[in-house]
Amino acid sequence: MRILKINKFLHENGGSETYIFKLGKYLQKMGHEVQYFGMVHKGRCVGNRVNAYTSDMDFHDGSKLAKLTYPIKTIYSKEARVQLRKVLDDFQPDVCHLNNFNYQLTPSIILEIVKWRQETEKDCKIVFTAHDYQLVCPNHMLNNPVKHENCEKCLGGHFMNCTKGKCIHGSTAKSIIGTMEAEFWKLKGTYKYIDTMICCSEFMKSKMDTNPLFATKTVVMHNFIDKEGWKETSKKEYVLYFGRFSEEKGIGTLIKVCKELPDIQFVFAGNGLLEENVNDAVNIKNVGFQKGEALEWLIREARFSIYPSEWYENCPFSVMESQMYGTPVLGADIGGIPELIQVGETGELFESGNAEDLKGKIQKLWDDKELCEQYSENCKNISFDTVDEYYEKIMKVYQ
């Protein structure tokens, strides 16, 4: 089977790319042909035979001249259609597997796949994995950055609320563009051409299903984990947070609580806008962004990890990785996080954004070493799909 993976980023950028690259590698291992389409980038690590990609669109550091054209390009991209067609003609895929495509690639690529399919009479399936809420929320997060709260006003296709709430970076201009993009593709009905929408959590599915069209197409498939996992490990005396240092991740609340628990050693691994706040607490050791074996051992040796998110997380790899490596998780009861933790077995939940509840749960786990050890032992029995098991499921979707 020939599978074309489509994602705006073709370099290591986050959990979505981890999913795409690992799945693509496994598909190749199983004898399938896999190619990729997305943006040009100096860090690009996957690609296609004809070297056809769209221009890199950097909304933060791009030139002033380039930014003048972004409002049009984020809604519809002629370039993306032209470049994608080169790949389609050469590769002749059986499946086009879409991931993150809005703004940089735009839904116009779906129209090109449909056009190519009609002209060649090729039976090519269109599959989409929803890593965030991009098809039901113009800012992708169901979160208003101005009010600093989660928001569901756009669900059901009421996208004007994005402009009213200045939901994209707190900017009226950017929010208008986001609203226009969402309304344009809603009116064109382009998403009807997607055959299957994979939701990485039941929570994500519940939000996607607010669109009656999507409700007929969604299936739930939690992300997979690497097969190599739990092993006997000597725990060290620290509590771990690893991830982005940003407001929606609940870092502000966590730092506040850390300062109120001076007898507990916390280790933070990551980077982000709130790094200065992290460095301001004497009992937080900031080890910076970590990956690979260094991150793995940080996770393995922690007494427990904390995932304090305050936005609607979908299916965070961090929560899964922690338990996979035998480290219990204290997670916020929000989004898809509760689906990943066996409460009272491999970890516990606290009320998202509630500093007192978080503080109490941290103190409880820290004071009860035997309970943490039991939770760690229970992590042997976690039931997340391995990539082998995920492969069996996704092949049914592809076929």
What's the mean per-residue pLDDT of the chain?
A: 92
Closest among 70, 246, 250, 218 to 133, alpha carbons compared:
218
Tell me what pLDDT residue 327 has. Answer: 96
Tell me what pLDDT residue 68 has. Answer: 46
Q: Is the pTM of this model over 0.85?
A: yes
The whole-number average pLDDT for the span 358-368 is 97
2-224+387-398 against 239-381: fold identical: yes
Q: For residue 270, what are the β-bridge partners? A: 243
Would you tell me how many other CB atoms lie within 10 Å of the CB of residue 267?
A: 19
pLDDT in tens, 122-178: 999 999 999 999 999 999 999 999 999 999 999 999 999 999 999 999 999 999 999
pLDDT bracket for residue 15 (50, 70, 90): confident
Cβ atoms of 202 and 220 closer than 8 Å: yes
Contact residues for 226 (Cβ-Cβ < 8 A; gap 6+): 22, 324, 386, 387
pLDDT bracket for residue 36 (50, 70, 90): very high
CATH 3.40.50.800 is held by the domain 239-381: no
Residue 305 pLDDT more than 70? Answer: yes
pLDDT in tens, 219-265: 999 999 876 677 788 999 999 999 999 999 999 999 999 999 999 99
Tell me what pLDDT residue 69 has. Answer: 47
The whole-number average pLDDT for the span 321-350 is 96
71-to-68, 139, 160, 332 alpha-carbon distances in Å:
7, 15, 17, 36
2-224+387-398: CATH topology: Rossmann fold (3.40.50)
Alpha-carbon distance 239 to 330, whole Å? 10
Tell me what pLDDT residue 167 has. Answer: 95
By percentage, how much of the chain surpasses pLDDT 70?
A: 95
The whole-number average pLDDT for the span 351-363 is 97
Structure tokens at 289: 């962004």
Tell me what pLDDT residue 9 has. Answer: 94
- Identity at 59, one-letter amino acid code: F
Alpha-carbon distance 165 to 147, whole Å? 8
- Identity at 392, one-letter amino acid code: E
Would you tell me how many other CB atoms lie within 10 Å of the CB of residue 22?
A: 16
* Strand-strand pairing, 143-144 and 149-150: antiparallel
Domain borders along the chain are 2-224+387-398, 239-381
Q: Which residue has the tokens 């056009």?
A: 115
Tell me what pLDDT residue 12 has. Answer: 85
Residue 75 pLDDT more than 60? Answer: yes
Residue 216 pLDDT more than 50? Answer: yes
